[in-house]
Structure 1
Amino acid sequence: MSVSFPELTYTSRRERLVRESMFWGSLDRLVRNPQGLLGLVILGLLVGAAIFAPLLTWHEPNIQNASARFMPPSLEHPFGTDELRRDLYSRTLFGLRVSLALSLTSVTIGSTIGIMFGFFAGYVGGWVDAVMMRLIDALLAFPGLLSALAIVTILGPSIRNVAIAIAFFSVPSFARLSRAQMLAERNKDYVASAQALGAGPVRIVFRHIAPNAIAPLLTQVALFIASAVSVSAALSFLGLGERAPDASLGGLINTAKSNLQKAWWYPTFPGLALALLLLSLNLLADAVNDAINPFARRRA
């Protein structure tokens, strides 16, 4: 009688991480997705250009050159110059830095507040949940851009107030989504097991429920960063964001609209930077959703 043994195969550490870890598995799916890889590459280049703007530019963004009014793109001024003889290449990179920093900061603050709010309401339930969600519903009744416009108008035009406005209108969406995730997870067996073992509410929420509820929230973060970029550019276009002479992408496009016939390059390069930033964020949001959904379905 012959005895057969199962074939033994070597599994690398990377393969085990991809198979067993939601984070590493999702990251592996993300970089294997052409759409996700393209979004990461474009966003990485833009973020790198914004971070290292002082090293990548050879003109100060606010310094005027007496002989360089409306100069077309050249080796000395790759994006040309504006009506005040300032280098548009450096102003675009520094404006990109402002847009990225503003969007990341405001969405981080707004999403954190909204997720904490939704988790608390969903876990406690009862009249507390009802009251908190009615407040969120009232905030959702106001369109995001109009809410941001009203807040900046009341507080005054500045980058700080734009960040406050974007964070404010980010809270309701994250609160609703995180509450829905909490309601879907809080009655599952693993939560009951943790309660039976004596785990407290904070440990249950952040150690057990949050890792299983975080998948759609990550997609929402990527989408809201793109929305924050659009809103900050719109407010800057209306003159409610970065104050002159400092540059912002929306402000550059706003100033360029009266000089379209004189300098085609004036709105083109800031607009292209804004378009690429929005494209990369939307590509990345779709790819993140595709990468984490298999794990969400497996854990459901």
Structure 2
Amino acid sequence: MKLELESGNVIEEKHMKKNKSLLLYKIRKNPMTILGLSIIVIMALLAIFAPYISSYNPTEMNVLDRFQEPSLKHLFGTDEVGRDILTRVIYGTRISLTTGISVVVMAGVIGVFIGSVCGYFGGYVDQVVMRIMDMILAFPTLILAMVLAATLGASLFNVMLAIAIVKIPVYVRLSRGEALVVKNNLYVKAARTFGLSNLYVIFRHIIPNVITPIIIQLTLDLGDTILLVATLGFLGLGAKPPTPEWGTMISTGFKYMLEQWWYPTFPGIAVFLASTGFNLIGDGLRDILDPKSSR
């Protein structure tokens, strides 16, 4: 029995290594996925090494340098109080990437657990939970996020919480649909027959087998979440000045758009690149991991 288990583990490890090699091969063959990865990797490096890339302080004011046009001294120009916009965009990358990843991970973990439990057990609780999810999905994402953020109070944390609440139903429905299929597989029925606990079956057999579409959805939602955070910041519901957050910078710079075009333009380009990068990665992963999408 022990030898059979060991041989089974060896076969499983070889299978995992083969899948990883195949995944890397397919990624290399997809130029748009490579482009998306390149954009996000560059942004991540900028966020990590921000203090070494720019010598300016993102919140320090220097009124004598206010509204300087893009130049060798200030590549992206300066704002209304003389702060270097390039520095603020780079530091804003930290906030946007951290916020986006935190929101989708929070929504994904909670949504996958709820959806897996509902799909596995079914019954009355499943129906009640899914009707609540349908109610949330009935509202436009941006409108509901605005209402929740305004109700909770204007702050970056409340924006994260509001967007996470809006995103949870997507993962609940997705994981529930997969769980309804997986729970009828023979290995799940065998595990239940041998008396394994429901919690063990959910974490060992259900969740690992619904994770592929979840990964695709997480990647696609990262771009959308960064855009939502910037939108709520633009509306004054997110981070407050002088925090170098892209949406807040665009909101302030929009007032000076006609004369100081560089002020809102460069943070806007940063939002566009981050959102596009994650969307390209998500589209590539969907083509690679979801066999239905290639038909």
**Same fold? TM cut 0.5:** yes
Which amino acid is the alignment partner of residue 228 of structure 2? V
Out of 121, 125, 141, which is 2:122 matched to? 125
Q: Hey, what's the Cα distance between the residues in 1 that align with 2:17 and 2:81?
A: 58
Residue 153 of structure 1 aligns with which residue? 150
Structure 1 window deviating more from structure 2 (139-148 vs 172-181): it is 139-148
Hey, what does 1:4 align to over in structure 2? Answer: none
Q: Which runs of structure 2 are paired with 1:59-138 in the superposition (5 Å)?
A: 59-138=56-135
Alignment pair present for 1:58 and 2:94: no
CA pair 162-277 structure 1, distance change in 2 beyond 3 A: same
Counterpart of 1:48 (choices 45, 49, 57) is 45
RMSD: 2.0
| Equivalent residue, structure 2, for 1:272 | 269
Is residue 70–residue 262 contact of structure 1 (8 Å, CA) maintained in 2? no
Once the two structures are superposed, the pairs formed by residues 1-300 of structure 1 within 5 Å of their partners are 21-294=18-291
- Matched-pair contact (CA < 8 Å) for 1:235–1:250: yes
Partners of 1:19 and 1:25 within 8 A in 2: no
Unmatched tracts of structure 2, length 5 or more: 1-12
Give the TM-score, by structure 1 length.
0.88
Counterpart secondary structure, 2:104 = helix
Write out per-residue CA displacement over residues 3-28 of structure 1, whole angstroms, 9 at most, x where no aligned residue: xxxxxxxxxxxxx9577554553344
1:124-172 deviations in Å (ceiling 9; x for gaps) = 1111211111111111112211111111111110011001101110111
Cα distance, 1:240 vs structure 2? 1.0
Per mean C-alpha deviation after superposition, the further-off stretch among 204-213 and 90-99 is: 204-213
Task: State how far apart, in whole Å, the 2-side matches of 1:18 and 1:184 are.
Answer: 23
Moved over 6 A (4+): none
SS at match of 2:64: coil
- How many angstroms does 1:252 deviate by? 1.2
Structure-1 residue corresponding to 2:8? none
CA deviation profile, 1:252-280 (whole Å, cap 9, x unmatched)? 11111121222221122111111110110
Give, in whole Å, the separation in 2 of the partners of 1:96 and 1:213.
Answer: 31
Q: Determine the C-alpha separation between the residues in 2 that align with 1:202 and 1:37.
A: 38
Q: 1:273 to 1:18 in 2, by over 3 A?
A: farther
Distance apart, 1:108 and its partner CA: 0.9
Classify the secondary structure of the residue corresponding to 1:214: helix
Quote the offset at 1:191 in angstroms: 1.5
Q: Cα 1:208–1:95, aligned 2, differ >3 Å: closer, same or farther?
A: same
Query: Is the 2:120–2:179 contact (alpha carbons within 8 Å) kept by the matching residues of 1?
Result: yes
Amino acid at match of 2:55: W
**Paired residue for 1:9?**
none
